[in-house]
């Protein structure tokens, strides 16, 4: 009986693969009973890196913007442990930008490490704040902030 | 340009698909700025449901057991919102049990809902606590606790 | 040099001291590296118990209510450990209800324990959602939900 | 009926009052439904600042040290909101160092603000890792790391 999980396992990526890298400090309570970042924390770092980039670049106004991003899918492969008190660097790369949906890859690097400790991906669908229906087109400021995350060809 | 995320999107499952269902209370701080459970929280509920089942069934001793489960991959599809103060029910189903690795599906149901609000999957590899190398065989108590999560054929 | 922390240390209270007791499930990631609930988690349980009571009793509408509760002070004394996968019971008691401020005591009991593992207190000031200034008087539904937490004389 | 909470309310302190200041990045999920850091998060930042200082200064070995710090009391006064994506600076000051117990004040400053948004205090008792009984004397490296947090007279 083959293990269906093995086929798709990606390789750890490297820092140079990411157009943007953002530092995030870890917290004491991120460490679980085994002394390493609990697997849940990684998703909190993904969220933080992506939204932090979009807010700083003017692409997302969480309080007053007309569109909001709903998360429809997330995933993560874990390669190495991360631990408090390390600083983690989150690398961001745009994988796909459609009319209303966006796919972003996020890699986490512990301290100075060149090799990713974890590799995540998530899919946002942008909806109208009131109707909660997918927008016909992304606002321009958001599209531009996302396009900064395109990897050089 | 096709959207690569669409092909694989699963359908929301139903409660009856799961051999075990476990209640988890939500928390005030689970709600994010949009008033719904932040996407990160779902993973905390997955972790809690699986480890809760294994500990109760005697399959996991987090303090003294000779093996520990490392998470190597997790993912989640989000269909509907969940919100505090709802109680969430987590349905558990064993997808695969290999020599040292295990794949479990977890679905989250808000309150009395029949249709899953989120559908997650994660992969554990069990390793020796000291060497951190994959075990040759799962401890019997763990294998039994996992086998309780097999869906009826 | 005397230790200024000792004087005020209260005794652990008992379940019967609380007009309301609410169950909260613990989570895998609540346990810290020492295998017990991290001290931060207790505050999340306080928040959850109080807001859960107020929402259920119709005293708090977090999305549309005209007033919102700002936390101005919290504190906790820790007596015993709590650990996942225990269910924790939160006991609630109104200590003071002023014109715009409220003081509530919250005790946490692990599983069936009669003696509190932790004893918290916090102070809310209710403000107008728009102006963020303290209200002249609590809305009646809120006052009633709070008064249910008065200990019998 | 006087409000018993008012008497003891301290004034917000300033950055210059703290011998050590440590930056902590906020996270998307720290923001609650009102758009500001949930009151629980502050305690996570206190914990992180203190333990981060002690680990960096060699005063705390969370995996192998012979003593561990148990939290016996924490408290916080909240003056102003903090919000993601702000960076928060945590100021640390030793209030008291006894034979086995330690009291530390932690202030949180949002971004460049001079005035504290929150003022916390907590009390650690150091115990033997095995017996969990208070130590007769703090290890020297720990005492030294703590003494770095004494405010200039």
Tell me the nearest-neighbour CA distance from A151 into chain D, angstroms: 24
Closest Cβ opposite residue C5 in set D38, D63, D73: D73
CB atoms within 10 A of CB B34: 17
Question: Is the Cβ of B38 closer than 8 Å to some Cβ of chain D?
Answer: yes
Q: How much is the mean pLDDT over chain C?
A: 91
> What mean pLDDT comes out for the span D106-129?
96
Q: How much is the mean pLDDT over chain A?
A: 91
Tell me the nearest-neighbour CA distance from C31 into chain A, angstroms: 6
> What mean pLDDT comes out for the span C44-66?
88
D93-126 burial, b at 16+ Cβ within 10 Å, e below that, comes to bbbbbbebbbbbbbbbbbeebeebbbbbbbbbbb
- Per-residue pLDDT band for C73 (boundaries 50, 70, 90) equals very high
- Per-residue pLDDT band for C153 (boundaries 50, 70, 90) equals low
Residues of chain B in contact with residue D32, where contact means CB-CB under 8 angstroms, are 28-29, 31-33
| pTM of the model as a whole | 0.93
Give the 3-state DSSP-derived string for C67-100, with helices as H, strands as E and coil as C. Answer: EEEEEEEEEEEECCCCCCCCEEEEEEEEEEECCC
Dist CA A64 CA D81 (whole Å): 18
Q: Do C85 and B44 count as a contact with CB atoms less than 8 A apart?
A: no
Dist CA D33 CA D18 (whole Å): 32
pLDDT digits (tens, 9 = 90+) for A93-152: 999 999 999 999 999 999 999 999 999 999 999 999 888 899 999 999 999 999 999 987
Question: Is the Cβ of C38 closer than 8 Å to some Cβ of chain A?
Answer: yes
Question: Is the Cβ of D128 closer than 8 Å to some Cβ of chain A?
Answer: no
Q: Do D29 and B32 count as a contact with CB atoms less than 8 A apart?
A: yes
User: Over pLDDT 90: what percentage of chain B?
Assistant: 79
Residue D6 has pLDDT above 70, yes or no: no
Q: Which residue has the higher pLDDT, A152 or C133?
A: C133
Helix axis angle, A39-56 relative to A140-147, nearest 10°?
120
Taking domain C17-147, whether its CATH number is 3.40.50.10600 is answered by no
Q: How many residue contacts between A and D have a Cβ separation below 8 Å?
A: 57
- Per-residue pLDDT band for A153 (boundaries 50, 70, 90) equals low
Dist CA C50 CA D118 (whole Å): 21
Asked which of A60-64, B24-28, B36-40 is least confident by mean pLDDT, the reply is A60-64
Residue C71 has pLDDT above 50, yes or no: yes
**Among candidates D48, D44, D83, D57, which has minimal Cα distance to D140?**
D57
**Among candidates C100, C98, C44, which has minimal Cα distance to C74?**
C44
**Among candidates C88, C33, C65, C29, which has minimal Cα distance to C145?**
C65
Instruction: Please give the pLDDT value at position C109.
Output: 98
- Per-residue pLDDT band for B59 (boundaries 50, 70, 90) equals confident
Tell me the nearest-neighbour CA distance from A129 into chain C, angstroms: 14
Tell me the nearest-neighbour CA distance from A11 into chain D, angstroms: 27
- Per-residue pLDDT band for A64 (boundaries 50, 70, 90) equals confident
Residue C121 has pLDDT above 60, yes or no: yes
- Per-residue pLDDT band for C64 (boundaries 50, 70, 90) equals confident
At D123, list the tokens.
Answer: 């009390």
Closest Cβ opposite residue B25 in set C24, C31, C47: C24
CB contact set of C139 (below 8 Å; sequence gap of 6+): C59, C65, C66, C67
Give the best-scoring range by mean pLDDT among B54-63, C27-36, C62-71.
C27-36
At D146, list the tokens.
Answer: 């703590």
Which residue out of B1, B2, B3, B10 would a mutagenesis test of the A interface target, given it has the greatest number of A Cβ atoms within 10 Å?
A: B3
pLDDT digits (tens, 9 = 90+) for C75-96: 999 999 999 999 999 999 999 9
Residue C5 has pLDDT above 60, yes or no: no
**Among candidates A108, A107, A84, which has minimal Cα distance to A34?**
A84
- 3-state class (DSSP) for residue A91: strand
At C146, list the tokens.
Answer: 């709070």
Q: How much is the mean pLDDT over chain D?
A: 91
Instruction: Please give the pLDDT value at position B152.
Output: 77
**Burial of B127: CB neighbours in 10 Å, binned 0-12, 13-18, 19+:** middle
Residue A69 has pLDDT above 50, yes or no: yes
Asked which of B91-100, C65-74, D42-51 is least confident by mean pLDDT, the reply is C65-74
Residue B2 has pLDDT above 70, yes or no: no
Give whole-number Cα distances, A102 to B13, B45, C107, in Å.
25, 25, 45
Dist CA C44 CA D135 (whole Å): 30
Residue B1 has pLDDT above 80, yes or no: no
Helix axis angle, C39-56 relative to D39-56, nearest 10°?
180
Instruction: Please give the pLDDT value at position B153.
Output: 63
Q: Do B33 and D38 count as a contact with CB atoms less than 8 A apart?
A: no
Dist CA C58 CA C60 (whole Å): 6
Residue A12 has pLDDT above 90, yes or no: yes
Residues of chain B in contact with residue D29, where contact means CB-CB under 8 angstroms, are 32, 38, 40-41
Tell me the nearest-neighbour CA distance from B75 into chain A, angstroms: 4
Q: Which residue has the higher pLDDT, A92 or D35?
A: A92
Q: Are B26 and C60 in contact (CB under 8 A)?
A: no
Instruction: Please give the pLDDT value at position A3.
Output: 46
> What mean pLDDT comes out for the span D77-86?
96
Residue C59 has pLDDT above 80, yes or no: no
Helices (H), chain B: 39-56, 140-147
> What mean pLDDT comes out for the span D88-105?
97
Q: Do D75 and C76 count as a contact with CB atoms less than 8 A apart?
A: yes
Instruction: Please give the pLDDT value at position D77.
Output: 97
Q: How many residue contacts between B and C have a Cβ separation below 8 Å?
A: 57
Asked which of B103-117, C54-68, C99-113 is least confident by mean pLDDT, the reply is C54-68
> What mean pLDDT comes out for the span B38-62?
92
Q: Do C33 and A33 count as a contact with CB atoms less than 8 A apart?
A: yes
Instruction: Please give the pLDDT value at position D132.
Output: 86
At A112, list the tokens.
Answer: 């100075």
Q: Which residue has the higher pLDDT, A67 or D110?
A: D110
Question: What is the fold of D15-147?
Answer: Thiol Ester Dehydrase; Chain A (3.10.129)
Which DSSP category does A37 fall into? B
What's the distance, Cα to Cα, between the start and end of chain D in Å? 40
Q: Are A110 and A80 in contact (CB under 8 A)?
A: yes
Residues of chain A in contact with residue D24, where contact means CB-CB under 8 angstroms, are 25, 27
Asked which of C39-48, C105-114, C127-136 is least confident by mean pLDDT, the reply is C127-136
Residues of chain C in contact with residue B45, where contact means CB-CB under 8 angstroms, are 27
Question: Is the Cβ of D31 closer than 8 Å to some Cβ of chain B?
Answer: yes
In chain D, positions 76-105, which contact chain B (CB-CB < 8 Å)? none
Tell me the nearest-neighbour CA distance from C44 into chain A, angstroms: 13
């Amino acid at each position: 009986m083959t293990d269906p999980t093995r086929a798709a396992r990606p390789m750890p990526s490297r820092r140079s693969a990411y157009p943007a890298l953002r530092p995030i400090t870890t917290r004491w309570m991120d460490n679980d009973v085994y002394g390493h970042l609990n697997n849940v924390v990684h998703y909190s770092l993904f969220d933080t890196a992506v939204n932090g980039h979009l807010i700083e670049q003017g692409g997302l106004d969480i309080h007053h913007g007309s569109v909001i991003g709903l998360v429809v899918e997330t995933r993560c492969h874990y390669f190495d442990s991360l631990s408090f008190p390390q600083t983690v660097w989150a690398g961001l790369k745009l994988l796909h930008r459609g009319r209303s949906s966006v796919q972003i890859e996020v890699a986490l690097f512990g301290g100075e490490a060149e090799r990713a400790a974890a590799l995540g991906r998530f899919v946002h669908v942008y909806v109208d704040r009131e109707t909660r229906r997918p927008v016909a087109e992304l606002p321009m400021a958001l599209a531009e902030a996302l396009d900064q995350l395109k990897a050089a060809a």
